[in-house]
Amino acid sequence: MWRYAELLPLPANYHPHLPVGFTPLVSAPQLASKIGAKRLCIKNDAVCLPTLSFKDRVVAVALATARRFGFEIVACSSTGNLANAVAAQAAREGFKAVIFIPADLEPAKILGTQVFGAKLVRIAGSYDQVNRLCSQIADERPWGFVNVNLRPYYAEGSKTVGFEIAEQLGWRLPDNVVVPMAGGSLITKIKKAFDEMIKLGLVDSRPVKFFGAQATGCSPISTAIKAGNTDIEPQKPATIARSLAIGNPADGHYAIKAISSSGGWAEDISDAEVVASIQLLASTEGIFTETAGGVTVGVARRLYQQGRIAPEETTVLCITGNGLKTTDVFAGKYAAEPAIAPRISKFDEYIETLDENPTPVEA
């Protein structure tokens, strides 16, 4: 993503130390045929480096700024992916890190913070409570909270998702993008990125519709859009899509504005649909995404069904995280295959039984 350094608020003469971003944009013809699409692409931040989510982008910009401001300790409130990104990049850049999370996060996201040596503070409460606490702590301590006092810099890092999509489409903007929404910032920054590229003459101007995706169990932004409201009513989250479980999204108002002014829409899907959508993306395109990606795929499917996205339009789905971090949602979904003897006759017998049940995937 550093090819876009000039468009980011980095310190003068900043030399990045980490390869971050520039993830693949791949066409998704098999997923497309399953959901009624024709020209469908996946922006695959499930393989963003170094910690397999788009949060690596925002943290890279935030830590460059933390250094410039002289912080020695960096911190964040997180639903998991940000925790991993801050912990890893702080280790690499020589900061101490203090990470605040809701206590009930996925085990992989907790381990994926601890392993980098970060101090983990688990809060018995929701993300919104963690975030409020961090605002108070940022008031008291000289720490660089990437998503509180460093937020203006951090947020700009999200623009690189948009820059890359346009470049990878051949310096063209898509007709539609579908973006998962937690705090609501990413969707507004992709829009900002497209606007900046138009302004610079890097792409031709064209109308792009922005579509937001949430899980029904935490859907303050999509609920507001569907009701025609310009402000959100906070919710108490109850969804397996914990990376999106922000009931009081700070950028909710801006996300609503970005979506509505573009002629887009927002939708939300059930937890069961989230799991089925993760399986659908994996089995059609070989991309294993986390719950947030399931939300995006499931909502996209709904938008095609509703006719809100036309099949022949170029549509990009933003997949922002990796499925290996949320494997707990598949507990009990797949039976353990029997272990067979290493003998050709046993294998022949076994393959016969498989042929009788050709789809080992449990829907």
Partner 1 sequence: MTVTVQIPTALRRLTAGTARITCAATNLGELFSTLDTQFPELKPHLRDDSGEIRRFLNVYVNEEDIRFLGGNAYAFQDGDEVLLVPSIAGGAPDDGKGCHPWLRGS
Instruction: Give the residues lining the site for partner 1 (CB under 8 A).
Output: 6-9, 128-129, 132, 135-136, 139, 147-149, 151-156, 183, 185, 188-189, 192, 195-196, 199-200, 231, 233-234, 236, 248, 250-251, 253-254
Nearer to partner 1, 76 or 178 (CB): 76
Kindly state the smallest distance separating residue 70's Cβ from partner 1, in Å. Answer: 17
Quote the distance between the C-alpha of residue 316 and its chain's center.
Answer: 14
Q: Smaller CB distance to partner 1: residue 30 or 129?
A: 129
Between 206 and 236, name the residue whose CB sits nearer to partner 1.
236
Three-class DSSP labels, 169-199: CCCCCCCEEEEECCCCHHHHHHHHHHHHHHH
If the CB atoms of residues 9 and 24 are measured against partner 1, the closer one turns out to be 9
Q: Closest distance between partner 1 and the C-beta of residue 363, in Å?
A: 37
Crossing angle of helices 55-68 and 81-93, in 10° steps, is 40
Nearer to partner 1, 129 or 260 (CB): 129
How far, in Å, CA of 44 to CA of 32, rounded?
16
Q: In the complex, what is the shortest distance from the CB of residue 30 to partner 1, in angstroms, rounded to a whole number?
A: 36
What is the smallest separation between the CB atom of 89 and partner 1, expressed in angstroms? 19
d(CA 88, CA 59): 10
Question: What's the closest the beta carbon of residue 134 comes to partner 1, in angstroms?
Answer: 9
| Direct distance between the N- and C-terminal alpha carbons of the chain, in angstroms, rounded to an integer | 37
Between 23 and 147, name the residue whose CB sits nearer to partner 1.
147
Q: Looking at beta carbons only, is 9 or 311 nearer to partner 1?
A: 9
**Residue 46 or 186 with smaller CB distance to partner 1:** 186
Which is closer to partner 1, CB of 127 or CB of 288? 127
Where are the alpha helices (H) located in 78-219, listed in sequence order?
81-93, 107-114, 127-140, 151-157, 159-168, 185-199
Question: Nearest approach, Cβ of 90 to partner 1 (angstroms)?
Answer: 20
At 102, phi and psi to the nearest 5? -65, 140
Q: Which residue type does 208 have?
A: V
Compute the least distance from the CB of residue 126 to partner 1, in Å. 10
Helix axes 252-262, 185-199, angle to 10 degrees: 50
Q: CA 325, 326, 328, 331 torsion: positive or negative?
A: negative
> Strands 176-180 and 209-215, how do they pair?
parallel
CA separation, residue 4 to residues 9, 68, 110, 334, 355 (Å): 10, 19, 31, 43, 51
143 CA to centre of own chain? 25
Q: Cβ 9 to partner 1, closest distance in Å? A: 4
CB of 81 to partner 1, least distance (A): 18
SS3 358: coil
Please give the Cα distance from 89 to 257 (Å, whole number). 33
Provide the Cα torsion 75, 99, 93, 145; round to 10°. -10
